[in-house]
Structure 1
Amino acid sequence: MAEAVRAGAGGITGLRRFLTEYGEAVEWDVARYWPGRSLLELYRGEMSWRELRVFLRYLPQDSATARAVRGASPEQEAWTLDRHLLAALIDAQRENTFAMVKLHGDPKKTSRLRPPDPIPRPGVEQRTKSNVIRFGGKHGSGARQLAGLFGRPAANQ
């Protein structure tokens, strides 16, 4: 956040440019983090440019201004580090439960169980189809799957 303030020209010119681009977010943050103050005070002369610069430099990472500078989507911004860690913990617990049921359950009843899908997260690709190629049984010989994998027609087609 502070780097974005420093990236442009320094001083008042840089802050003016910053306010031109991110003014609404700054206005929101002033109202949220600085109760009783308004960004209009800057233009009335009741707030100095230095006060605004110090305020912007020390805004927290979850502030509207910091989110606007990062340019991330609202879905990505909702997934903070603690949410990612909590989802990973839940996924691990679900996988552990699946393994325990599979290992200690009746094989006739647990043979059709499939591992749980992980909780969807932004930036993490979902598992698609299984890469397992099945041979024999009701799934066929797997020749078509192998042929598709290697980009050739199956020999028996």
Structure 2
Amino acid sequence: MAEALRPGAGGIGGLAQLLKEHGEAIEWDMARLWPGRSLLELYRGEMSWRELRVFLRYLPPDSATSRAIRGSSPDEEAWTLDRQLLASVVDAVREGTFAAVKLHGDPKKTGRLKPPRPIPRPGVEPEQKSNVIRFGGRHGSGAAQLAQVFGGRAANR
């Protein structure tokens, strides 16, 4: 892992630099993923540099060391692929439920029902602009909106 995420760094010097920069994260991962071992063993001569290198190389992507090297924010780390997919499934179920209620419900009761908003995700801005074109009523005939959509001139201007 150290070699894949840090091109150009190698050998004991590269490991020593990695320890200086991310020693606490490495210590945390060792306590969590390699019970009974400690970084102190490296300095006492009870662990070889090779053992440390092998441990670091095969750390999982969600390890503290991997997150520290990537420099990712806690929000980004919280939204893993499985959580993104789960949020997509929940959004789809909510949209399907909305559609079923809207189609099969009493129009007097479901007339003002609004579609559900998707679960907020980091890095994804919610849509502000609606693409609904309204006809008649206080909003006008909608000709100006149609002209904007199709790039023409409204007939009632």
- Short-chain TM bin: 0.7 to 0.9
Q: 2:43 maps to what in 1? A: 43
Give, in angstroms, the shift of residue 44 of structure 1.
Answer: 1.6
Query: Is 1:4 aligned with 2:5?
Result: yes
Give, in angstroms, the shift of residue 84 of structure 1.
Answer: 0.9
Please list the CA deviations of residues 89-121 of structure 1 after superposition, one character each: whole Å capped at 9, or x if unmatched.
110000000100111112222121111000111
Alignment of 1:48-127 (within 5 A): 48-127=48-127
Equivalents in 1 of 2:72, 2:20: separation in Å?
A: 19
Equivalents in 2 of 1:141, 1:43: separation in Å?
A: 79
Task: Figure out how many residues of one structure are paired with residues of the other and give that number.
Answer: 151
Q: 1:29 maps to what in 2? A: 29
Equivalents in 2 of 1:91, 1:101: separation in Å?
A: 15
Q: Which one-letter code corresponds to 2:91 in the other structure?
A: D
Gaps of 5+ in 1: none
Give, in angstroms, the shift of residue 146 of structure 1.
Answer: 8.2
Gaps of 5+ in 2: none
Change (3 A) 1:79 1:108: same
Please list the CA deviations of residues 18-52 of structure 1 after superposition, one character each: whole Å capped at 9, or x if unmatched.
11211111111111111111112111211110000
Please list the CA deviations of residues 105-151 of structure 1 after superposition, one character each: whole Å capped at 9, or x if unmatched.
1222212111100011112221213132423213345588789999x
Identity %: 74
| SS of residue in 2 equivalent to 1:109 | helix
Q: Which one-letter code corresponds to 2:101 in the other structure?
A: V
Equivalents in 2 of 1:41, 1:109: separation in Å?
A: 70
Normalised to the residue count of structure 2, the TM-score between the two structures is 0.84
Normalised to the residue count of structure 1, the TM-score between the two structures is 0.84
Equivalents in 1 of 2:147, 2:44: separation in Å?
A: 74
State which drifts further: 111-120 or 36-45: 36-45
